[in-house]
Chain A
């Protein structure tokens, strides 16, 4: 009997542990200044829109203006059903549905630029429960494993119905701040100026490991093996020094660099390019 039980246990355990499980989809995320986990989503092919992952919210919520923009209509129970809901990272959520409401908490945060980005919506229980999600802020992606599981339908609590538990907290803070600030939720992004070189960091300094043909650095006379001693009047000992100097530039800026080749040093002036 004991043996039978043991055998049964093994037979049961082994296949369960090995059961073919869909691999986790890696979803890029950003942690906002307000410590919210933000993912980007394309709704009906439009966007991307910024959503907060919130287990304290009962459902997906989008504001009215976005519902209108993507042509979403509500059914008689007040739910909108997306034709497509795609998370950055390539995860397409089938049969995704949403509530439509202008959450004052998101408006509050947006009005003051508190999160550092414009927030468009919230992903709550009705979608989150369909995945096993791993949050690890030492990694730059979340893991989403689809579950074969239909989460039980929600019931609203109290008079308020769909209270936005955790976001309420932000609402309180946001209200205290109203009027203090006039911060835009978004700002423009530029890349620094482009040289077209690969660097090698050595004990004696920063050296050119590659110079791409026809790149701004090539045209200025940079050669593989040269040591970059000075850039924009900053002396350069390592990548960190160079990063600090280049981050102050934009494509099209005129710059001066000092190169050492053997016993000679050479000062060159050139225009930074646009490139990655």
Chain B
């Protein structure tokens, strides 16, 4: 149980991966793209690669890579970058995946330039393609994270459409990131120390045998942000900014996500009742 609860994201904690600040893009227009829902539950979008196509590809939020089948890659004139492919150690780790850079990948009117993709005849893609080829044509690949991460992406199965708003997010190079992540393997097994950069002014404790939701407040410092917000000794914190606080580790994580001066909703159990307060942590430690 303890391990489950400590399953906290390494990704969200590493300072290098803090959400990148981007200028507001309110003026960016939402691009609406229809999709075709297959009876398998997958959905398919029309994709242009380098202006060629449209090709039909499965859109997949669970795909860390964009995949293009060999024939389609050839038709769109996509070749390996640098010619040498993923040689050396990276190649060894990734099984020699054939990664290319797609100069222009368009899903409807949503355009991503210089986005990575892997050229591969994937058995699952082929199985889906074979099943639907007669009915609606072949399926040529999968659109994944490197594309949709560049947008605020909304999926509406009822209207069978997606909307994309460019958000300035830079997805990076998946294979390289994966490689770096593996290189940090040693570091990973060490405990991680988190310093939020905000001070709230309370302490919490949880006994190991206490498996109920929430965590008990053991001390509230006078005149601290927590005291000003009315947090009291004996309160049981259930959520901080919507995040569960069932363990000390969870509480540390929830607290670490707030920025100094940001007003954060906190749900408590006090005298058997649920109470909502708002705490504004300050820059401090």
Contacts and interface: CB of A to CB of B under 8 A. Distances in A.
- Do chains A and B interact in one complex? yes
Interface of A: 26-28, 30-38, 40, 42, 47-50, 52-59, 88-90, 113-114, 116-118, 120, 122, 124-126, 128-130, 132-141, 143, 147-149, 151-152, 154-158, 160, 163-170, 172-173, 176-177, 180-181, 183-201, 209-210, 212-215, 239, 242-243, 246-250, 273-276
A170 to B, nearest CB: 7
Contact of A172 (B95, B203, B243, B255): B95
A120 B1 CA distance: 13
Nearest to B224: A212
Given A136-B152, A192-B285, A155 B40 contact: yes
B249 A165 contact: no
A190 B252 contact: yes
Given A117-B8, A213-B221, A35 B145 contact: yes
Nearest to B94: A173
Given A59-B41, A133-B155, A250-B193, A31 B11 contact: yes
A55 B155 contact: yes
Interface string B156-180: 1110000000011101001001100
Contact of B142 (A33, A57, A165, A187): A165
A194 to B, nearest CB: 7
Interface stretch (B55-63, B72-80, B101-109): B55-63
B84 interface: no
A20 to B, nearest CB: 16
Nearest to A88: B244
A173 B182 CA distance: 12
Contact of B40 (A28, A58, A194, A246): A58
Given A30-B11, A33-B177, 18 more contacts: A53-B62, A55-B60, A136-B152, A151-B157, A158-B131, A160-B127, A163-B124, A165-B42, A165-B125, A176-B93, A177-B93, A186-B3, A187-B189, A188-B249, A190-B191, A201-B283, A209-B282, A250-B193
A167 B252 CA distance: 31
A33 B10 contact: yes
A84 to B, nearest CB: 13
Given A125-B41, A243-B195, A276-B255, A187 B10 contact: yes
Contacts of B83: none
10 contacts: A35-B177, A56-B63, A57-B62, A125-B41, A132-B156, A165-B63, A169-B63, A198-B282, A213-B222, A275-B221
Nearest to B187: A187
Nearest to B175: A173
A197 B199 contact: yes
